[in-house]
Amino acid sequence: MRLPAHAAAILPFKLSNRPSDHIIPCTMTSQSNERVFADIALPLPVDRLFTYKVPGDMAESLAPGCRVVVPFGKRNITGYLISLHGVNDGKFKIRSILKQVDEHPLLHGDLMKLAEWMSEYYIHPIGEILRAMLPAGVKGKGRKSSGPRSSGDFPPEAENPVLGDDQGSAFSAITDAVRRSSAETFLLYGVTGSGKTEVYMRAIKEALSIGRTALVLVPEIALIPQATARFRHRFGDRVAVLHSRLTGPQRSSIWEKASAGEIDVVIGPRSAVFVPLKGLGIIVVDEEQDSSFNQEEKPHYSAVDVAKFRGKNENAVVVLGSATPSLESYDSAVRGEIRSFRISSRPAESILPPVEVIDMRGRDEIISSELLDELERCVGRGDQAIVLINRRGHANYIQCRKCGWIDRCPNCSISLTYHSKGHRLVCHYCGFYRGLPERCPRCGDFKIIQKGVGSQRIEMELGNLVPSARILRMDLDTTTGKKGHLEILERFGKKEAEILLGTRMVAKGHHYPDVTLVGVIAADAGLNFPDFRAAERTFQLLSQAAGRTGRGRKRGNVIIQAFAPEHYLYDYLKTHDFDGFARNELELRKQFRYPPASRLILFTVSSRSSRLALEAADRAKEEIVSKGIIDEDDILGPTPAVVEKLRGRFRFLLLVRGVEKAVEKRRLVDIFKKELAERKEAEIQWNVDPAGLF
């Protein structure tokens, strides 16, 4: 085994010439056979390939994209074959591949190119990228399982409705690009319930008619059942769904069938962007603005940007859809970088609902009288309502009324959330939990009170205030298991409940014609987060929630409870004016040079010692500024993270603006890594184009 001399031509990063400690010198002569040696990427935090000898019985079956087991030091590890060659400079003894895991490559050539681009753009080793591309549990021989077939029982929708003028224009342009195999990106946006899904499905039908395949990305696992039902109704059993709650054999089966050309349409969340569909013709990213399309753990990536690169590389059309697109996509459309189509109205039988903002300042009640009255009228009519409270649990925290003590997580600098089920205090960051104390551990007083509200508390309040209503709660605590979301949504679709209550997962994509009321509690809580995207995220969430009502012939109504009703976003929300909000927000971004006005890289330095973490971050900043890579004004921090202590480690953030070239990004990362190499107690992570600053 050795580091290949020619690897710099394969990979986007510069490889070290220093041999690894476990490489043994020898006097082997070079071979001429092109399949004697294999360059392997290992899922390790090292920017290099390793060369192994190919055993004779594998010489004809191995190909780039296959997984192999190789010896590495004193252990065996699964790696990814990058290339086969006959080059050997004779300096080191090369160890042999032990086992071929895949009979055929799970990642074809286009996906290998995608991995190389991701490695370069996001500055992550290609071995870690390749491991992330393959879903957990894929074994390479999963053809025995066909995967789950149930797609849910949901309210019927109109069959082949007549397209409006805006829909027709978008459909014509998209299908023209599909027929020409043109790698174009489109932004399809407009009011909620305007028929974007119908445009998606007709464009996909056109792609299938000419022998191409389609990939549909959705942000929430909660949206998959209804999306799957729609697409299977239209396209039959050649539609597959891929998500994290499938078993390993089920995921393997989908990958094998996609690679063999036995699947036409794949639907799934972020990780589905890597499915090896043959002849990919169109990629649809629904609700493209959603932050869940960003992988926030190593290796960091944006599924939206990955989809764009894959479309360009495979001559596939990419359609970004949203009622409230990200400001990055909107700005790209305004500047003509991508084509955009706006659908300005709903179908004739449905109209946009009026939005009423209730000022909750000075009120003691959790649910306002205005919302309560509308809920009672809605239930009395036999209609349905959706209530959004974007926080789990029963109470945000508990506090001693006498001394002010608050119970906090011992591993994270965050208060514990009270969950009424099991009477437990839970950390939503690291999972730590303990029982509810009977008395204050600081002063011994029994006066412990609950502060703030979550979905469990709202469920209890609604049950008491609207006793005639049947309530379903949908949040992370009620949707465990493979069919958690499906069962709740099916029951609501069958009208087994009048109120669907939940966190953000109830606010997006659902189509229930009998929903005539949407209520939002603590609507502006998200505005208090120290993130430049706070207003954008809040506007998007509230707009999506408002769009769940008035989607049929029945009129809808939206009531939003707010503690900052004077905020400018509510003026745009009341008139469903995304364009106005976007223009206002873009001006603010330009003033402070935040995306899309500039690119960001977020560096996080962590240590079990707060002092060491801060010192390491300070030193790295000084080194970057001294080398003149960027101006001092373009590196912000170091500052403590919003949750400074997470899972026992203290975190400090450095935000770098305006670095776009791969060479410059790599120089920054190398400086950080060099500085922290001298401080073994500190660790670093970096996130190119971060979705948030938490």
Q: Count of CB atoms within 10 A of residue 24's CB?
A: 11
Considering the entire predicted model, what is its pTM?
A: 0.86
Q: Count of CB atoms within 10 A of residue 524's CB?
A: 22
| Radius of gyration, alpha carbons of the chain | 27
If DSSP states are collapsed to H, E and C, what string results for 639-657? EEEEEEEECCEEEEEEEEE
**385 phi and psi angles, rounded to 5 deg:** -135, 150
The pLDDT assigned to 484 comes to 67
What CATH architecture applies to the domain 165-343? 3-Layer(aba) Sandwich (3.40)
Q: CATH 3.40.1440.60 in the chain: give the residue spans.
A: 7-133
- Are the CB atoms for 380 and 374 separated by under 8 Å? no
Distance of alpha carbon 337 from alpha carbon 330, whole angstroms: 10
- Are the CB atoms for 550 and 352 separated by under 8 Å? yes
Distance from the first to the final alpha carbon of the chain: 41
Q: Tell me the CB-side half-sphere exposure of residue 673, using CA atoms within 13 A.
A: 13
Extract the residue ranges of the chain whose pLDDT is less than 50: 1-32, 140-150
Which phi-psi region, left, alpha or beta, contains residue 423 (left: φ > 0; alpha: ψ -120 to 50)?
left
Distance of alpha carbon 273 from alpha carbon 215, whole angstroms: 7
- CB burial of 27-64 (b: ≥16 within 10 Å; e: otherwise) equals eeeeeeeebbbbbbbbbeebbbbbbbbbeeebeeebeb
Distance of alpha carbon 72 from alpha carbon 62, whole angstroms: 19
The pLDDT assigned to 8 comes to 32
Residue 399 β-bridge partners: 406, 449
The pLDDT assigned to 91 comes to 66
Q: Identify the residue whose tokens are 């109120």.
A: 499
- Are the CB atoms for 117 and 301 separated by under 8 Å? no
**Which among 318, 346, 313 has a CA at the least distance from the CA of 332?**
318
Q: Identify the residue whose tokens are 């895949």.
A: 102
Q: Which two tokens mark 141?
A: 């021989």
**Which among 264, 300, 270 has a CA at the least distance from the CA of 285?**
270
Which ranges constitute the DSSP H helices of 12-108?
A: none
Give whole-number Cα distances, 166 to 191, 509, 543, in Å: 12, 20, 20
The pLDDT assigned to 118 comes to 95
- Are the CB atoms for 1 and 51 separated by under 8 Å? yes
If DSSP states are collapsed to H, E and C, what string results for 174-205? HHHHHHCCCCCEEEEEECCCCCHHHHHHHHHH
- Are the CB atoms for 65 and 115 separated by under 8 Å? no
Distance of alpha carbon 225 from alpha carbon 6, whole angstroms: 48
Which ranges constitute the DSSP H helices of 269-416?
A: 303-314, 327-334, 369-381
Q: CATH 3.30.70.1440 in the chain: give the residue spans.
A: 600-688
**478 phi and psi angles, rounded to 5 deg:** -110, 0
- Are the CB atoms for 449 and 398 separated by under 8 Å? yes
**pLDDT tens by residue, 183-237:** 999 999 987 766 788 899 999 999 999 999 999 999 876 666 777 777 887 888 7
**Which among 403, 402, 357 has a CA at the least distance from the CA of 568?**
357
What CATH architecture applies to the domain 600-688? 2-Layer Sandwich (3.30)
Q: Which residues contact 117 (CB under 8 A, 6 or more apart)?
A: 12, 309, 313
The pLDDT assigned to 89 comes to 62
Distance of alpha carbon 619 from alpha carbon 380, whole angstroms: 65
Q: Which two tokens mark 682?
A: 């500190």
**Which among 214, 261, 267, 263 has a CA at the least distance from the CA of 243?**
267
CATH number for domain 355-393+454-591, candidates 3.30.1360.200, 1.10.486.10, 3.30.910.20, 3.40.50.300: 3.40.50.300
Task: Tell the CATH topology of 7-133.
Answer: GIY-YIG endonuclease (3.40.1440)
Q: CATH 3.40.50.300 in the chain: give the residue spans.
A: 165-343, 355-393+454-591
The pLDDT assigned to 358 comes to 95
Which phi-psi region, left, alpha or beta, contains residue 637 (left: φ > 0; alpha: ψ -120 to 50)?
left
Q: Which residues contact 691 (CB under 8 A, 6 or more apart)?
A: 291, 293, 294, 296, 302, 533
- Are the CB atoms for 675 and 626 separated by under 8 Å? no
- Are the CB atoms for 494 and 156 separated by under 8 Å? no
3-state helix, strand, coil in the chain (%, to 5): 35, 25, 45
**Which among 530, 523, 529, 531 has a CA at the least distance from the CA of 564?**
523
